[in-house]
């Protein structure tokens, strides 16, 4: 029987419970850890850690392979961010940090994919999307810690590469779109090769975004980054890990690795706190934590229920592009779970190092 452990900030919906039950009965699944940001997603819920014996599930990693967060502290404090400078910074970020496509192709070395056709397809996309943030909940933020020091935070992933890789391998396995598909043998090895390429691309993409954002910050605010403080955390990936006496493939979909002393970044929403944490190495969770607050409303529901006025109220004190207010309603803080409750629910998984608040939020709609 599959072992399922839960750290919840609120009761699970029936749909999430049923999805976890189906997952627990999938071939090769040995352990599941449910994080407090868990919410419904296709096949495998976001906020789920799945350990398997010899089976790789691309859907338990998700489409945005390698998605994660990166941050570093700036040589400046929050007092340098006036309304005028915040507006100038948003303009500078729009010029330097594209949302979906670069104005011209970047020169990237060929990506070492498992399949030549897939390589041609993803390399084309990689060259026009490298250094782009993407839409949805991806962002660049200027944040302030409790001492008033400024930090840059970036949330992005492998862009078009991840979904292309997932669909390529599910198609090769002749998987039904309605069925959770496990890969073994050569099929698993091929997926893992491509997964690692996407994960590396995602890390480099966040660094490229950060470099462009740092140039904009220095231009407008006159402050630089402290490189020694840089760290990067991935929350969509699979890797081989040993837990107890078992060697397992541990899939994290919207979950972070939280080994003892390992640094992590857990954001709330564009209007609420982000936490820098260290893992406690909790064996029951397979040394994992949440990757954020987690959605409490699907995007469609949020767009129906949250008004422009409601979003504006949620974002008081945060500088953002007000021209996007109507289209950002599905990213309103009220569309997400309470990050304070999420952190409280996982106090045995991580220890809080610092709490940061959003100052300038830059994202696509």
**SS3 at position 22:** helix
357: closest CA among 302, 312, 306, 319?
A: 319
User: Which 3 state secondary structure label does DSSP give 98?
Assistant: coil
Catalytic residue, chosen from 39, 168, 195, 291, is 291
DSSP assignment letter at 127: H
Question: 149-156 and 231-234: which strand pairing?
Answer: unpaired
- Distance from the first to the final alpha carbon of the chain: 43
Q: Spell out the residues 6+ positions from residue 360 whose beta carbon is closer than 8 angstroms to its own.
A: 81, 86, 89, 90, 141, 142, 318, 319, 320
Tokens of 158: 């492998």
- Tell me, yes or no, if 291 is annotated catalytic: yes
353, 270, 153, 134 alpha-carbon torsion, rounded to 10°: 140
Question: Active-site residue numbers?
Answer: 291
């Amino acid at each position: 029987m599959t072992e399922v452990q839960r750290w919840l900030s609120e009761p699970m919906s029936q749909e999430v419970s049923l999805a976890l039950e189906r997952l627990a009965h999938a071939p090769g699944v040995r352990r599941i850890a449910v994080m407090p940001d868990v919410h419904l997603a296709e096949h495998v819920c976001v906020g789920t850690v799945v350990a398997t014996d010899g089976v790789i599930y691309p859907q338990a990693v998700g489409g945005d392979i390698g998605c994660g967060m990166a941050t570093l502290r700036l040589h400046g404090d929050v007092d340098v961010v006036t309304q005028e400078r915040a507006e100038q910074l948003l303009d500078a970020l729009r010029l330097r940090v594209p949302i979906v496509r670069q104005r011209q192709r970047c020169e990237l070395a060929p990506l070492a994919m498992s399949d030549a056709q897939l390589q041609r397809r993803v390399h084309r996309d990689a060259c026009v999307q490298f250094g782009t943030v993407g839409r949805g909940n991806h962002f660049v933020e200027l944040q302030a810690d409790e001492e008033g020091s400024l930090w840059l935070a970036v949330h992005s992933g492998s862009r078009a590469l991840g979904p292309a890789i997932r669909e390529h391998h599910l198609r090769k396995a002749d998987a039904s779109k309605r069925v959770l598909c496990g890969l073994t043998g050569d099929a698993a090895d091929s997926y893992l090769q491509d997964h690692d390429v996407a994960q590396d691309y995602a890390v480099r993409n966040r660094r490229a975004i950060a470099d462009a954002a740092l140039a904009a910050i220095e231009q407008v605010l006159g402050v630089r980054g402290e490189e020694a403080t840089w760290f990067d955390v991935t929350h969509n990936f699979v890797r081989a890990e040993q837990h107890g006496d078992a060697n397992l493939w541990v899939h994290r979909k919207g979950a972070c690795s939280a080994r003892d002393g390992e640094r992590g970044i857990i954001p709330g929403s564009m209007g609420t706190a982000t936490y820098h944490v260290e893992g406690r190495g909790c064996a029951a969770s397979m040394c994992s934590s949440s990757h954020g607050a987690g959605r409490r409303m699907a995007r469609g529901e949020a767009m129906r229920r949250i008004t422009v006025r409601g979003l504006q109220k949620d974002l008081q004190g945060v500088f953002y592009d007000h021209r996007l207010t109507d289209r950002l309603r599905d990213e309103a803080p009220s569309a997400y779970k309470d990050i304070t409750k999420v952190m409280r629910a996982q106090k045995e998984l991580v220890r809080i190092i610092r709490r940061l608040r959003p100052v300038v939020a830059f994202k696509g709609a």
